């Protein structure tokens, strides 16, 4: 038989779990990526100076094409540059891109990622 204290404990655990789920859902809903703002940010940060016209014609081969890349990947790449290599499992340490992302918030990076994904580019997925 379940003792009252155990039952309370179970109710408490269930309440915590649902609070966590609701919190996660809220965090996801809190910011729907805005590609329009992504374009504004891309222009004001001069991303095209290196990644080229429409972020699809890099000025030099060591600068990647971005246009059309999946937003999830772009967002994560930007986060990695921002984290740097303080955490060796997560960070990217390219000094040029690290400098580009320092002033960006998480929602800025999501907006940039949505904008980049929306662009027509040369990147293709072959199956």
Interaction site with ligand HEC (CB under 6 A):
42, 45-47, 49-51, 62-64, 66, 74, 77-78, 92, 94, 96-97, 100, 112
Q: How many CB atoms lie within 10 A of CB 58?
A: 16
Residue whose tokens read 């999946």: 70
List of residues 6+ apart from 54 with CB closer than 8 A: 48, 67, 119, 120, 121
Cβ proximity to ligand HEC, 22 vs 72, nearer residue = 72
Q: How far apart are CA 127 and CA 65, in angstroms?
A: 20
- Cβ 31 to ligand HEC, closest distance in Å? 17
- Cβ 97 to ligand HEC, closest distance in Å? 4
Cβ proximity to ligand HEC, 25 vs 86, nearer residue = 86
């Amino acid at each position: 038989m379940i003792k009252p204290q155990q039952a309370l404990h179970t109710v408490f655990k269930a309440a915590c779990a649902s609070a966590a789920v609701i919190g996660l859902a809220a965090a996801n809903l809190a910011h729907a990526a805005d590609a329009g703002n992504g374009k504004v940010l891309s222009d004001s940060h001069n991303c095209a100076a290196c990644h080229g016209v429409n972020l699809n014609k890099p000025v030099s081969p060591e600068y990647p094409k971005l246009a059309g890349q999946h937003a999830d990947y772009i967002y994560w790449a930007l986060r990695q540059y921002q984290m740097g290599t303080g955490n060796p499992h997560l960070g990217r340490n390219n000094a040029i891109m690290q400098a580009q992302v320092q002033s960006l918030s998480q929602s800025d990076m999501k907006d940039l990622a949505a904008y980049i994904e929306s662009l027509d580019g040369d990147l293709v997925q072959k199956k």
